[in-house]
Amino acid sequence: MERLEGDSFGVVDIWIKNNYSVYIVSNLIMFNPTDEQMEEWCKPAFEDINMILDELNRETKCGNEYLIHVLKEITETYEGVQKVLDAEDIEN
């Protein structure tokens, strides 16, 4: 797998292609969406999230630091859910 461009966030690497997350790699999982999944689900989700955050920033003038904080809170929520699923040995 070739690293396209991206950033490392602790144990998670986000691989970017054409401004969309293509691979999310951690020490636990790897998801590689098909081209169809990218077009039907991943790209629209990415665009929707960006649109919501842009509107939030435009309406409240909260700034990028706050948006980053919100995204970290969302990430921590999903990490907590994953820990519960792992503890209960439930596949997500």
pLDDT for the residue 33: 86
pLDDT for the residue 91: 77
- Residues 47-74: tens digit of each pLDDT: 999 999 999 999 999 999 999 999 999 9
Q: Does the residue 74 lie in any domain? A: yes
Residue with tokens 């966030």: 9
Q: Does the residue 54 lie in any domain? A: yes
Cβ atoms of 33 and 42 closer than 8 Å = yes
pLDDT for the residue 36: 94
Q: Does the residue 92 lie in any domain? A: no
Residue 19, pLDDT > 60, answer no
Residue 16, pLDDT > 90, answer no
What pTM was estimated for this model as a whole?
0.61
Mean pLDDT score, 65-87: 93
Q: Does the residue 52 lie in any domain? A: yes
DSSP string, 7-65: EEETTEEEEEETTEEEEEE-SS-EE---HHHIIIIIHHHHHHHHHHHHHHHHHH---HH
Q: Structurally, how many domains does the chain consist of?
A: 1
Cβ atoms of 4 and 17 closer than 8 Å = yes
Mean pLDDT score, 74-79: 93
How sure is the predictor about 41, in pLDDT bands with cuts at 50, 70 and 90? very high
Count of C-beta atoms within a 10 Å radius of residue 80: 10
Name, in order, each residue with C-beta under 8 angstroms of 24's C-beta and a sequence gap of 6 or more: 12, 13, 14, 15, 30, 31
Which domain covers residue 22, as residue numbers? 5-87
